[in-house]
Each structure stands twice: as structure tokens, then as C-alpha cells.
């Protein structure tokens, strides 16, 4: 997911990437997950690697994880980047419907809808091979892991806590993002005291769709 950022960021910083619980090569524990679990996974990973503080960048569910860290573990953060996320993403009915659908029909059945949410039609038409590669990786996600993370997003709501985030925060939104809108980004900026907002003409996966602009902004924010 972050391949387009590695070269430029790696020239400036040490990079730590990890697979979220239930995804990639990480374990797939049984039962529903919570954002608290995902946040504590980050803390335990940092402890294991003996890393005291980081600049944390998370997108979508990663942005929820970032909010949890900003609220509950601020001493582990230098700066925080919250991308294409919200204090609350979607609603209970929508997430339960998605969980039921993928458990019945697999992730392959929602690939088309996922593409529409993740990327603008213009980007897809010019970068079909790249989009197909991202979606091919998506369908390899363990069903149990995907469903359990859907439950974590479903139950997360930081509306009343997000103003507790005190570390410098960059919020990135996509003007074409129908999942986590610019309005959601505005709300985050209004509630987080030391924050700024940037919006790119992208759908949900802004770091891929506007990779160069996204990476440049990250580097400027972290260094300044």
C-alpha cells in the first residue's frame, strides 16, 4: 500500500511498515477486533523494536488507529498524520451488511465496489494495471481478518475524544472520497487543537492516487 512512498521517505527517515492484524503476513486471531487492539499492536511492536517515538501515518482504518494512539499513547508520537479517515466511519448497519456479504461470497464479490470507493474513474482509466495489482492484493486478505477489522471500524467512534489529541497533526482528505469526506477532515481539524488540513483530488486511497504530492507533503510536515 505504501510502496510509492518508500523511496522518497526512505531518503529522509527510517521507515517501519507493518501488516495490520488479520492482514498480510500478520496473525489472524479469532473473534472481532477493536481499534484499541490495533493501537496496542503498534505500541507492542514499538516496544519490541525498542523504538521510543515515531511519526505515525495511517490511512482509513489506519487513521482510526492513529487517532487512538494520539488520544491514549501521545508520548509515543512526535507527529501524527491522519489520512482519508474520520472520527466515525460509516454506520453499524452498513458494516454488518458488508461483513455478512464477504463471509457469504468472499472478497472477490466486492472488488468492483471497492475499486469505485478507492479510486476515481480518471485514475483507473490511466492506471488500470496498478489498480488491478492493488485489488489483487486486496482479495488475498484473509476473510476472517477482513471481517474482524470491519467490526473494529464499525465500533470505533472518537467524536468525544479526538480533541484530546495534542501532538502536531496533519489531516489529509480526498475531494472525491465518498467514504471519508472532506467534511470529515474538517471536523477532525476543528477538534484537534494543533492540526492542519490538506485536500487532494482523489478518492479514498490518496497516497496512491496522488503519490508524489502526498509524499512531498508528508516530508514537509514531518521536517518542519
* DSSP state string for 190-223: HHSTTEEEEEES-SS-HHHHTHHHHHHHHHHHHH
Domain assignment of residue 173, given as a range = 3-223
Q: Within 10 A of 164 (CB to CB), how many other CB atoms are there?
A: 15
Cβ count within 10 A of residue 208: 23
The CATH number of whichever domain residue 14 belongs to comes to 3.40.50.1820
118-156 pLDDT per residue, tens: 999 999 999 999 999 999 999 999 999 999 999 999 999
Look at residues 213, 183, 217, 15 and name the one whose alpha carbon lies nearest to residue 84. 183
Q: What is the pLDDT of residues 169-193, one digit of tens each?
A: 999 999 999 999 999 999 999 999 9
Q: State the pLDDT at residue 188.
A: 98
The whole-number pLDDT of residue 122 equals: 98
Mark the ranges of the chain whose per-residue pLDDT is less than 70. Answer: none
pLDDT at 197: 98
Residues with Cβ within 8 Å of 215's Cβ and at least 6 positions away in sequence, in order, are 4, 5, 8, 9, 207
pTM value?
Answer: 0.97
pLDDT (0 to 100) of residue 5: 97
pLDDT of residue 39: 98
CA 166 to chain centre: 20
Question: Per the structure, how many domains does the chain have?
Answer: 1
Sheet holding 77-83: strands in order across? 54-59, 77-83, 169-174, 195-200
Give the per-residue pLDDT at 77: 98
The pLDDT value recorded for residue 198 is 98
Amino acid at each position: 500500500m505504501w510502496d510509492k512512498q518508500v523511496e522518497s521517505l526512505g531518503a529522509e527517515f527510517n521507515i517501519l511498515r507493518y501488516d495490520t492484524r488479520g492482514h498480510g503476513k500478520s496473525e489472524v486471531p479469532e473473534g472481532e477486533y477493536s481499534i484499541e487492539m490495533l493501537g496496542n499492536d503498534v505500541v507492542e511492536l514499538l516496544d519490541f523494536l525498542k523504538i521510543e517515538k515515531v511519526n505515525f501515518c495511517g490511512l482509513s482504518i489506519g487513521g482510526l488507529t492513529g487517532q487512538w494512539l494520539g488520544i491514549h499513547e501521545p508520548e509515543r508520537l512526535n507527529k501524527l498524520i491522519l489520512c482519508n479517515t474520520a472520527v466515525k466511519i460509516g454506520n453499524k448497519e452498513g458494516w454488518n451488511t458488508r461483513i455478512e456479504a464477504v463471509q457469504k461470497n468472499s472478497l472477490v464479490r466486492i472488488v468492483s465496489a471497492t475499486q469505485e470507493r478507492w479510486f476515481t474513474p480518471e485514475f483507473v482509466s490511466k492506471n488500470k494495471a496498478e489498480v488491478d495489482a492493488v485489488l489483487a492484493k486486496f482479495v488475498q486478505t484473509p476473510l476472517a481478518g477482513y471481517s474482524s477489522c470491519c467490526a473494529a471500524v464499525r465500533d470505533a467512534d472518537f467524536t468525544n475524544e479526538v480533541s484530546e489529541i495534542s501532538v502536531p497533526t496533519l489531516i489529509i482528505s480526498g475531494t472525491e472520497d465518498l467514504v471519508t469526506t472532506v467534511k470529515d477532515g474538517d471536523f477532525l481539524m476543528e477538534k484537534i487543537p494543533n492540526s492542519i488540513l490538506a485536500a487532494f483530488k482523489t478518492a479514498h486511497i490518496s497516497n496512491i492516487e496522488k503519490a508524489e504530492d502526498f509524499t512531498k507533503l508528508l516530508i514537509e510536515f514531518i521536517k518542519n
